[in-house]
Amino acid sequence: MCGIVGYVGGREVVALLIEGLRRLEYRGYDSAGVVVRGPEGLIASKAEGKLDRLVDKLEREPLTGSFGLGHTRWATHGAPNERNAHPVLDARRRVAVIHNGIIENFLQLKTELIAAGWEFETDTDTEVVANLISSLYDGDDLRGAVDAARKRFEGMYAFAVMATRREEIVATRQGPPLVVGLGEAENFLASDPAALLTYTRDVIFLDNAELALLTPRGVEIWDAQGHPVERAAQRLNWDPIQVEKGGYKHFMLKEIHEQPQALQDTFGGRVDFELARVEFDDIGFEGSLGESEVRRVHLLACGTSLHAALVGKFLIEELARIPVEVDYGSEYRYRDPIVEPATLAVGVSQSGETADTLSAMGAARERGASLLAICNVANSQATRISDGVILTHAGPEIGVASTKAFTTQLVALFLLAVRLRQARGMETAAEELAALAHLPQAIDETLALEPKIDQLARRFFRAEDFLYLGRGINYPIALEGALKLKEISYIHAEGYTAGEMKHGPIALIDEDLPVVMVASGDRVYDKVISNMQEVKARDGIVIAVTDHDAEELAGVADEVIQVPRIHRLLQPIVNVVPLQLLAYFTGVRRGADVDQPRNLAKSVTVE
């Protein structure tokens, strides 16, 4: 969604804000802007499009001043143009606001403010925030004005406000994240710690409904009732290097290559390989529902994380013999789900911020489920509302297309499945856990296929459509391959279970259609080969991803990507890697902005 950054202190503020926005640009990139306190009041500079447009503008028309706010936008209300870019100033130019989220009752508030004589220049809901705060601001107590105004807002939002009188920033959140960074005679605010890492690793994550006041001298926080909150800072162990491209052309490629280490980090320290047991010291969902009592699992997620959840269903049902339902976060609460006693609802989310997933988790909780989050971002909202958490430890994922977050989610779901199996007193999953130890090596070997996949992209990047087919536990991998290609290259791609091909998609097949088929050595391998024959019989182009000997498919597939074989339940983690690379190289060859694809944002914090 949108990226927020704020600074109070003695540094050159505009450069600092721009550097922070660079780290947050993945959250939204429709427009960007900064505001500082200048000699004659608040001065803002904004530009439509990517951050570089703002940087160019600031080079032509430099801005100087002290303390300030910066914003990078993913448009919700109002077109993504300069007029609607943030920061948004109130009609009297007394306060400046940057905002992430949606004020759902903005129309009603706007009508009231217009009736009271306030003028509006933008189409944003943010301007309601600015004008309402300004209408309540006596020129002295900004915190009081923000506190009073936020009580009128409905929706999910995080915003930060500054005025000219004092060097201070006031910020609050209800839903989307805000983190305060602590420095010496300076303090920072951001929607994501990635923006702060160059300056500080000592941070405080704001809770919902808290309000923070930042000055160079310190940070004060109050809860919804106005009581002061004492919370010690925590030290982030993220390395600033992790949010750099590290020699790669794009974050996406870097993150694809980080997978062997990321997967190792997901299971490292959590598996006793000698005893063939999964030991989580940090899961702790016993609070409301003992692991051995779990009788049903609901997996709730969106996008790529939903595809991980679909694989998770196979893992949990097969390893722990517990029935699993998988739901889109955006659908779950609207279908009045049946939550039986002893249901564990698991929110799967890289960011832990996705509004739809959070709402679904809330709906499961209301109906009596215990909540577990499988999440990459510690302290995110998903982790805070859950009884237990399995952090995926993938490290920061900056590329908008999820790659290492996906494969680490699969490992986390595998660990959960084994853990539930153990809790039920079933036989140890010795073979599966032994295979897990080889997974990073298998991914390393798969990455060595990169030149071949680049060549494949060269052959097919002009195609207008792609079909992805898989079966069983590899069906969600077909969905994920198609999603990656769509996101990164804007080529229309569909994922289907191979068995469904004959019920409709077969009509699409002709000599121009590349069909990517995941043909793993599991129980449906032979069936997938039959499906390949059906594609070939209709002149389709078959690109096979297989752990079988490439020779076996020589007569039936046009192109074969042979990946290392691992245990059947872990094979999807290997199989998805060539599909990530295919999407990446296809996107690059088509000249697409693979790290920041059009219309997307890394985390979608609105419904």
Which of 200, 304, 408, 446 binds ligand M6R (CB under 6 A)? It is 304
Residue 388 interacting with ligand M6R (CB under 6 A): no
Contacts of ligand M6R in 34-53 (CB under 6 A): none
C-alpha dist (Å) from residue 229 to 141, 267, 489: 19, 35, 47
Q: Which of 409, 400, 383 is nearest to 573 (CA)?
A: 409
The residue among 45 and 351 lying less far from ligand M6R, judged by its C-beta, is: 351
Describe the strand order of the beta sheet including 211-215 as a list of residue ranges: 88-89, 95-103, 155-163, 169-174, 211-215, 218-222
Residue 392 interacting with ligand M6R (CB under 6 A): no
The residue among 9 and 329 lying less far from ligand M6R, judged by its C-beta, is: 329
Stretch that binds ligand M6R, among 27-35, 269-277, 301-309, 459-467 (CB under 6 A): 301-309
Which string of x and - marks every residue 472-501 that binds ligand M6R (by CB under 6 A)?
A: ---------------x--------------
Residue 1 interacting with ligand M6R (CB under 6 A): no
Between CA 519 and CA 373, with CA 263 as vertex, the angle to 5 degrees is: 100
The residue among 20 and 597 lying less far from ligand M6R, judged by its C-beta, is: 597
Which of 400, 412, 513, 594 binds ligand M6R (CB under 6 A)? It is 400
Contacts of ligand M6R in 146-175 (CB under 6 A): none
Within 10 A of 238 (CB to CB), how many other CB atoms are there? Answer: 15
Residue 31 interacting with ligand M6R (CB under 6 A): no
**Phi, psi (deg, nearest 5) at residue 182:** -105, 130
Stretch that binds ligand M6R, among 499-507, 534-542, 576-584, 597-605 (CB under 6 A): 597-605
Pure H helices in 321-449? 329-332, 355-366, 381-385, 404-423, 430-436, 439-447
Residue 302 interacting with ligand M6R (CB under 6 A): yes
Residue 381 interacting with ligand M6R (CB under 6 A): no
* Residue pair 376/392 in contact by the 8 Å Cβ criterion: yes
Tell me how far, at minimum, the Cβ of 376 lies from ligand M6R, in Å. 8
* Residue pair 198/15 in contact by the 8 Å Cβ criterion: no
Contacts of ligand M6R in 51-90 (CB under 6 A): none
Read off the tokens for 197: 């890492």
Residue 350 interacting with ligand M6R (CB under 6 A): yes
Name the DSSP class of 427.
Answer: P
By Cβ distance, which residue is nearest to ligand M6R?
A: 303
Name the DSSP class of 111.
Answer: H
Residue 357 interacting with ligand M6R (CB under 6 A): yes
Read off the tokens for 589: 């060859």
Q: Which residues are catalytic?
A: 2, 602
Judged by CB under 6 A, the number of residues near ligand M6R is: 16
Residue 191 interacting with ligand M6R (CB under 6 A): no
Stretch that binds ligand M6R, among 298-306, 364-372, 449-457, 554-562 (CB under 6 A): 298-306
Distance CA 277, CA 256 (A): 28
Distance CA 520, CA 185 (A): 58
Q: Which of 248, 23, 464, 41 is nearest to 32 (CA)?
A: 23
Residue 351 interacting with ligand M6R (CB under 6 A): yes
Dump the DSSP string for 525-583.
Answer: HHHHHHHHHHHHHTTPEEEEEESS-GGGGTTT-SEEEE-----TTTHHHHHHHHHHHHH
Tell me how far, at minimum, the Cβ of 249 lies from ligand M6R, in Å. 18
Which string of x and - marks every residue 258-297 that binds ligand M6R (by CB under 6 A)?
A: ----------------------------------------
The residue among 135 and 603 lying less far from ligand M6R, judged by its C-beta, is: 603
In a 3-state reduction of DSSP, which class is residue 67? strand
Residues that bind ligand M6R (CB under 6 A): 302-305, 349-351, 354, 357, 400-402, 487, 600, 603-604
